[in-house]
Amino acid sequence: MSEQNRVRIFDTTLRDGEQAPGFSLRPSEKLQLARQLDLLGVDIIEAGFPIASPADAEAVRRIATEIRRPIIACLARCHRADLEKAAWSIEPAARGRIHTFIATSDLHLQAKLRMTREQCLENAIDAVRYARQHTDDVQFSAEDATRSDLDFLCRVVEGVIKAGATTINLPDTVGFTTPDDTREFFEGIRGRVPNADTVVFSTHCHDDLGLAVANSIAAVQGGARQVECTINGIGERAGNAALEEIVMAFHVRSDRLPYSVGVDHRQIYPSSEMVTGLTGQGVQVNKAIVGRNAFAHEAGIHQDGMLKDRRTYEIMRAEDVGAPWNPLVLGKHSGRHAVQKRCAELGLTIEGAELLEVYRALMAIADERKIINDNDIVATVSGVRTLSNGQTSTGQAQPAATAAVDPFDTPSTAAPHAMQESGYGHGV
Ligand SMILES: [Mn+2]
């Protein structure tokens, strides 16, 4: 793939992610996560917002000292004090970036910053010039870019490129745009602004409408070559674009999305686990790529297909993202085939009438408990075997038909024989 289609992954888990409610991390935890992000292969780590607190500045400086391969970036408003603190924080870095920003939408200028467009433009240019005195790598973000007046935004982008900005980030700060908007927006600005081809354009999307990943991909199709994202999609409000979803979309659908990244997929799941562990905030079970159910199948028709050929219901493999592969969750939608397979994995060979007996007993448990675990399986097989041997714990003979669970109180008894083989659950 050509260098033109190389997309830089700018991870902001430690900045935008960390500033979300309930996600704050201590400096030592930030350093631990930065090491993992380095292993993951991200191009840029945004390590913090140094003016926000002395601990944040210290964390950025420690990361900049230790983590040598990726670019270490940190955030600063267009204020001298912010920029000085940012410069101090990245000073030890092998490659340090100052990321400065100011809002460009009239709403933010009037309601929040109480400044005119001209003052905004002047502040942006001054900040970029000042940052360039400390590092050659300066990123400028136009906060709320997607709700800004396009002509004014183009003037700001032109001004900061002249002042020395090397990356131009156009955030969808409030998660408002759609994929079509986003693509036209990037194409339009890159087409209009002089010297746009001398800088890297960047996208930063929030997920308020659940469109952050789709919008980020649309931005890349519109010419952006840096994507800002976070592990597990954590971030302000509904979060940022999820790194794992963007990377795997490029990987699985390279036919339509011919973009390359430097990320090692097999480090995706370990990174997700670390974020969950450090923050104490789990991901939703059905979260794409990293959720507990992302590679699990309970529906019997799916399980049967999976046992015959994984490609029937999988577009990527759990092991591709470093996740443990334990795809067959046994529940009330499972069939005998899956029960037999799991028993075999547990060292229990069961077939024929015994399999039917075990299957019915497990389905009765599933009606009560939603998920059947390995202990249930072992206990059920042992219970069925004890009964069919005519033995009970007291040594007295007992008829095999009276199992500990009611084998007939399950949906399977009413179904045709063929359905018991593969089980239930929707096929589509
Ligand atoms: Mn953000």
Whole-number Å distance, alpha carbon 353 to ligand 1 midpoint, is 59
Contact between 8 and 226 (Cβ < 8 Å): yes
CA distance 12 to 19: 10
Whole-number Å distance, alpha carbon 108 to ligand 1 midpoint, is 15
Whole-number Å distance, alpha carbon 415 to ligand 1 midpoint, is 52
Question: What letter would DSSP give residue 283?
Answer: P
Q: Please give the pLDDT value at position 394.
A: 46
Confidence of residue 419 (pLDDT cuts 50, 70, 90): low
Question: What letter would DSSP give residue 237?
Answer: T
CA distance 332 to 362: 8
Whole-number Å distance, alpha carbon 332 to ligand 1 midpoint, is 42
What lies within 8 Å, CB to CB, of 411 at 6+ separation is: 332, 363, 424
Residue matched to tokens 């973000």: 141
Q: Which of 194-203, 252-261, 367-376, 408-417 has the lowest mean pLDDT?
A: 408-417
Amino acid at 403: A
Whole-number Å distance, alpha carbon 157 to ligand 1 midpoint, is 19
pLDDT tens-digit map of 243-260 = 999 999 999 999 999 999
How would you class 286 by CB atoms within 10 Å of its CB: exposed for 0-12, middle for 13-18, buried for 19 or more? exposed
Beta strands in 88-220 (DSSP E): 96-103, 138-143, 167-172, 200-205
What lies within 8 Å, CB to CB, of 109 at 6+ separation is: 103, 115, 116, 117, 120
Q: Please give the pLDDT value at position 398.
A: 41
| pLDDT over 60 at 146, yes or no | yes
Cα 48 to its chain centre, rounded Å, is: 19
Predicted TM-score (pTM) of the model is 0.85
Q: Please give the pLDDT value at position 402.
A: 35
* Cβ neighbour number for residue 300 with a 10 Å cutoff: 29
Whole-number Å distance, alpha carbon 361 to ligand 1 midpoint, is 51
Whole-number Å distance, alpha carbon 226 to ligand 1 midpoint, is 15
List phi, psi (to 5°) of 227: -120, 125
pLDDT tens-digit map of 58-88 = 999 999 999 999 999 999 999 999 999 999 9
- Which has the higher per-residue pLDDT, 417 or 217? 217
The overall average pLDDT reported for the chain is: 90
Whole-number Å distance, alpha carbon 206 to ligand 1 midpoint, is 6
C-alpha distances in angstroms, 153 versus 62, 75, 174, 309? 35, 20, 17, 52
Amino acid at 303: Q
Whole-number Å distance, alpha carbon 19 to ligand 1 midpoint, is 9
Helices (H), ranges, 41-107: 54-66, 80-90, 106-107
Whole-number Å distance, alpha carbon 88 to ligand 1 midpoint, is 23
| pLDDT over 90 at 134, yes or no | yes
Confidence of residue 391 (pLDDT cuts 50, 70, 90): low
pLDDT tens-digit map of 336-358 = 988 998 999 899 999 999 999 99
| Mean pLDDT, residues 149-166 taken together | 98
CA distance 378 to 348: 8
Whole-number Å distance, alpha carbon 354 to ligand 1 midpoint, is 58
| pLDDT over 60 at 192, yes or no | yes
C-alpha distances in angstroms, 94 versus 45, 61, 67, 177? 13, 12, 8, 36
Whole-number Å distance, alpha carbon 393 to ligand 1 midpoint, is 63
Whole-number Å distance, alpha carbon 17 to ligand 1 midpoint, is 8
Q: Please give the pLDDT value at position 325.
A: 73
| pLDDT over 80 at 16, yes or no | yes
Whole-number Å distance, alpha carbon 229 to ligand 1 midpoint, is 9
Residue matched to tokens 């400028």: 140
Whole-number Å distance, alpha carbon 240 to ligand 1 midpoint, is 7
How would you class 33 by CB atoms within 10 Å of its CB: exposed for 0-12, middle for 13-18, buried for 19 or more? buried
* Cβ neighbour number for residue 308 with a 10 Å cutoff: 11
- Domain ranges in the chain are 3-279, 295-428
| Mean pLDDT, residues 383-403 taken together | 58
Whole-number Å distance, alpha carbon 389 to ligand 1 midpoint, is 65
Whole-number Å distance, alpha carbon 65 to ligand 1 midpoint, is 25
C-alpha distances in angstroms, 45 versus 31, 93, 401? 11, 11, 63
Cα 304 to its chain centre, rounded Å, is: 29
How would you class 66 by CB atoms within 10 Å of its CB: exposed for 0-12, middle for 13-18, buried for 19 or more? middle
Architecture of domain 3-279: Alpha-Beta Barrel (3.20)
pLDDT tens-digit map of 292-326 = 889 988 888 888 888 888 888 889 999 999 998 76
State what percent of residues in the chain have pLDDT above 70.
90
Q: Please give the pLDDT value at position 412.
A: 37
Q: Please give the pLDDT value at position 388.
A: 78
| pLDDT over 80 at 106, yes or no | yes
* Cβ neighbour number for residue 192 with a 10 Å cutoff: 14
Beta pairing, strands 8-11 & 71-77: unpaired
CA distance 349 to 363: 19
C-alpha distances in angstroms, 70 versus 91, 161, 224, 263, 363? 14, 23, 19, 12, 51
